[in-house]
Structure 1
Amino acid sequence: MVKKKLQNIPLGVKAAVIYTMASVFSRGLSMITVPIFTRIMSTSEIGMVNLYNSWYSLLNVIATLSLTSGGFQIAMKDFEGERDQYQSSVLTLTSMMAIFLGCIYFLIPNSWNRITGLPSALMILMLVVFFFAQAQDFWLLRQRYEYKYKLAGALTMGSALASTVLSVIVVLSLNKANSDQIVVGRLYATNIVSIAISAILWIKLYVKGKTIVNIKYWKYSLKLSVPLIGYAFAAQILSVSDRMMISKMVGNDAVGIYSTLYTVSSISLLVWTAINSSFIPYLYQNIEKKGNRIKELSLALMGSYAIIAVMLTFLAPEIVKILATKEYYEAIYIMPPIAAGVFLTSVSNMYSNLLIYHKKTNYIMYSSIIAATVNLILNYICINAFGYMAAAYTTLIAYIVLAGTQAMFARKIRFKETGEKSVYNDNAVFVMVILTIIAALFGLVLYRYTWLRYIIICTGMIAGIKIALMTLKRIKS
């Protein structure tokens, strides 16, 4: 009976569930290892690891030419009978870009090492990953597009598990040997499994596609992806510039503390990613229907997420005690502004969903550039004046700017396209944002009163569950 029901589940639903599980599993492993690494690595070493990850995220935008963004799925549709050839051809583009970045680096390696704050061993690792990793990205994207979830899901979870176990073993071994190469060892151990898999897929894509250069595919891909590079680059600057600037202006010890607490504060994003993925189909299918429930559902979903984000903020002392050591506990006061900024991701996502619906993604790029510029300027001024903890507040301000500009652009485009002022209840969203920020920042006071925090947390959890259940009933009806 159960087997029959499982067989009747649509293929697309099965694929979505497996890919979500694989993503949550991978992210979950990284969270599980936090208490291990914070106890066997110094804050400076963890800072170096996060600095590497920040530079990788930023430079990867250039290395991929944003070819792994939405344009790839469109190409899978337009070149339905030529997918193998298309994949191998665009893989040449990303491989050439990795070689180009390598040439730039090896011309003046010492200068780039000073700029990034990374040693040559880690810069070379990054370039090798750039060369091979896109093969795995292209392969996974195609598997997902074609609803081939079994091998892709197994490979994603298996490689994540192998990389995690190997990195823990290597760090423990190097720590026992009193080595000064723990950071290099951890990052190489983390990436070696992925590099090996990507290298095999890199060869496989060329063997199947038998196409190294195809100008038609290149023009098509670059036309779609190049406009997205500006957006992706600005988004990454907004996301990681604080850690880079802290490294230069304060030191890697501060980066280690800040980035670890930033990761803890962002745990709730796993929840929001799932919420938003479920809401988008409903939004796009019902946006033009009269009598839809988009306004009330969007408020209920954002309200539920706001409660989760705030409750996690109030639990910060306990979470940090479990995941980290006393060095990190002393900096828990940066978590409330970070958590408030993370909540604003839900607001900006709601409005960017509208801009995507109306195919006005350039406005998403504009808002990201504005927010990233504000963040860079404020970081430079405030970190110098008040220390690295100020970056948490400048990040909050930048996310307020991002959500605000996207809401403004979405209202403008919606009115221009349909004459309707907004799909959402903008006034209620504005009030919710204000209340959530105030509630999150209230944690700065509540950290001193444990029992009061627990009472508020229990009340909030009950309210969140009730809102979630009511929302599910409305969606089903």
Structure 2
Amino acid sequence: MLNVILVPIYTGVMLPGSYGQVVVIYAYFAIFNIFLAYGMETAFFRFYKDSENKKKVVSTSLLSILGSTMLFMIIGVLFKSPLSSFLEISIEYIGYVFWILALDALVIIPFAWLRANERPMRFAIIKLINVVLNLGLNSFFLLMLPKLALDSDGFFANIYKPDYEILYILISNLVSSAVTLLLMLRVYLRRPYVFDVGIWKRMIKYAMPVMIAGIAFTVNEVLDKILLEKILPVEIASEEVGKYGACVKLAVFMTLFITAFRMGIEPFFFSHSDTKHPQKAYAQITNYFVVLGSIILLAVVVFSDVLKVLFVRDEAYWEAMPVVPIILLAAFFLGIYHNLSVWYKVTDRTKFGAYISMIGAVLTIIVNLIFIPYFGYMASAVATLMAYGTMMMLSFYFGSMYYPVPYNFRKIIFYLGISILFSILSFYIFDRNLFVGIPLLILFLGLVYKLEFENLKKLYLNR
């Protein structure tokens, strides 16, 4: 959600070209984050659940991440200039990028430990502190500091530098990441450290396919911004990336739902895998995920013109609005894929996750490389939709072979199909007319109420 909150600030003080540079830098953040985590978060859940000595799993995981992060920082310092040239990130920014990546990597296992031990309040409070601090610092540097510098010849005038928006954004991120690590240090300090080589080898074996899948996922998620920057003509590349990156952020309402759902449901999948007939629970969870996701898809599409005014303030960015329904649907497909992927996680067939994700990544790369020169960011949006749609279908196909789950396909296809149809009518056919979109949304909500109210009532009463 922080991404959406910051968009009106960034688009209010930065032209699309400058904001495009920020989008590309954070695309690289996402890619490096996967390498620095290397699947250890998912491996931690898997081995923490079954291990008789949970303390060894925790300490081994912490030491592994700590060692790999230190190695990353050493390489970053030694090869700072070549990496800056290769990534096409200014040398003045690259140091901040390395430190932010390192600080974020060091809290991966502590946050996973909170989730595994079902401590959502502490998890949420620390995450919210990170968000509030990041948002506050961004607001100060980008909105308040320029005004204070104009009204003062002293301290504020001395620390303010014009056209330093990107640097201020990175400083804000660095400080919030550092504070987050300080708040999580107790997980590092309050335990005896034992590095169990046997456990580590088994965890790495489990984690490597997860890392490959994560890389492929990230390629699907962010590589389009990097390829747009590199393929489009230099004079318009950053500007087009900025427009696309800003409008894509409106899909964060779907992404937020999916992320929150996944963070809660992933530990549930593992903890209930040994119960009697867990497939029935998995099927029911997926059914309701599709219901809620369909509502979010249609609601965001219907109110997209309202949301763009609230979150993407500058009209210069609105040219890319036609990508919003496509990206929303792509994110929804990804969420369904996460639910379907339970089969390879609980059966330790994580290599299938890697294979499926790699197919999606290859599809993303091919479609972007071929069609960006002709269709620009619309090609990137369609490539994302194709990749996640393909991954969703492949996961279902292989899952039905190795770990059948009794999904209610009639219900899933009904809700998904109606929400897509109504979204097309509202956004593309009737050009985002609220007098058409709102009745369609109300009609869809009425259908959900009629079909699901009794089931939800029974589910709640039987808790």
Give TM-score, length-normalised by structure 2.
0.83
> What is aligned with 1:67?
40
Counterpart CA distance in 2 for 1:464 and 1:431 is: 11
2:377 aligned with 1:388, yes or no? yes
Contact 2:60 2:196 in 1 (8 A): yes
* Structure 1 range deviating more: 213-222 or 226-235: 213-222
Counterpart CA distance in 2 for 1:154 and 1:298 is: 28
Contact 1:72 1:221 in 2 (8 A): no
Question: Structure 1 404/129 Cα, relative in aligned 2: closer, same or farther at 3 Å?
Answer: same
* 1:37-76 alignment runs, 5 A limit: 37-72=10-45, 74-75=47-48
Specify which of 62, 87, 99 is matched with residue 128 of structure 1. Answer: 99
> What is aligned with 2:213?
231
The 3-state SS of whatever aligns with 2:41 is: coil
* 1:143-222 alignment runs, 5 A limit: 143-173=114-144, 175-176=146-147, 179-198=162-181, 201=184, 207-209=189-191, 211=193, 214-222=196-204
Question: Structure 1 393/436 Cα, relative in aligned 2: closer, same or farther at 3 Å?
Answer: farther
Task: After TM superposition, give the deviation of residue 264 of structure 1 in Å.
Answer: 0.8
Counterpart CA distance in 2 for 1:272 and 1:133 is: 21
> What is aligned with 2:155?
none
Contact 1:340 1:436 in 2 (8 A): no
Task: After TM superposition, give the deviation of residue 374 of structure 1 in Å.
Answer: 0.2
Question: Structure 1 187/464 Cα, relative in aligned 2: closer, same or farther at 3 Å?
Answer: farther
> What is aligned with 1:445?
429
Q: Count matched residues.
A: 440
Task: After TM superposition, give the deviation of residue 144 of structure 1 in Å.
Answer: 3.2
Counterpart CA distance in 1 for 2:278 and 2:80 is: 58
Task: After TM superposition, give the deviation of residue 372 of structure 1 in Å.
Answer: 1.0
Cα displacement string for residues 148-204 of structure 1 (whole angstroms, at most 9, x for unaligned residues): 4554443322232122111210122565556122111112112213214425755x5
Task: After TM superposition, give the deviation of residue 396 of structure 1 in Å.
Answer: 1.0
Task: After TM superposition, give the deviation of residue 295 of structure 1 in Å.
Answer: 6.0
The 3-state SS of whatever aligns with 1:68 is: helix
The 3-state SS of whatever aligns with 1:118 is: coil
Specify which of 110, 113, 133 is matched with residue 84 of structure 2. Answer: 113
> What is aligned with 1:3?
none
* 1:31-430 alignment runs, 5 A limit: 31-72=4-45, 74-75=47-48, 78=51, 80=53, 82-83=55-56, 87-173=58-144, 175-176=146-147, 179-198=162-181, 201=184, 207-209=189-191, 211=193, 214-250=196-232, 251-273=237-259, 277=264, 288=277, 298-299=286-287, 301-324=289-312, 325-414=314-403, 423-426=406-409, 429-430=412-413
> What is aligned with 1:419?
none
Question: Structure 1 278/218 Cα, relative in aligned 2: closer, same or farther at 3 Å?
Answer: closer
The 3-state SS of whatever aligns with 2:349 is: coil
Task: After TM superposition, give the deviation of residue 472 of structure 1 in Å.
Answer: 1.4
Counterpart CA distance in 1 for 2:29 and 2:303 is: 31
Provide the identity percentage: 17
One-letter identity of the residue aligned with 1:463: L
Unaligned runs of 5+ in 1: 1-26, 416-421
One-letter identity of the residue aligned with 1:389: M
Task: After TM superposition, give the deviation of residue 46 of structure 1 in Å.
Answer: 2.5
> What is aligned with 1:15?
none
CA RMSD, Structure 1 to Structure 2 (Å): 3.3
* Structure 1 range deviating more: 340-349 or 100-109: 100-109
Unaligned runs of 5+ in 2: 148-159
Contact 1:314 1:447 in 2 (8 A): no
The 3-state SS of whatever aligns with 1:424 is: coil
The 3-state SS of whatever aligns with 1:112 is: helix
Task: After TM superposition, give the deviation of residue 333 of structure 1 in Å.
Answer: 0.9
Counterpart CA distance in 2 for 1:296 and 1:196 is: 39
Contact 1:35 1:323 in 2 (8 A): yes
Contact 1:122 1:184 in 2 (8 A): yes
Question: Structure 1 44/338 Cα, relative in aligned 2: closer, same or farther at 3 Å?
Answer: same
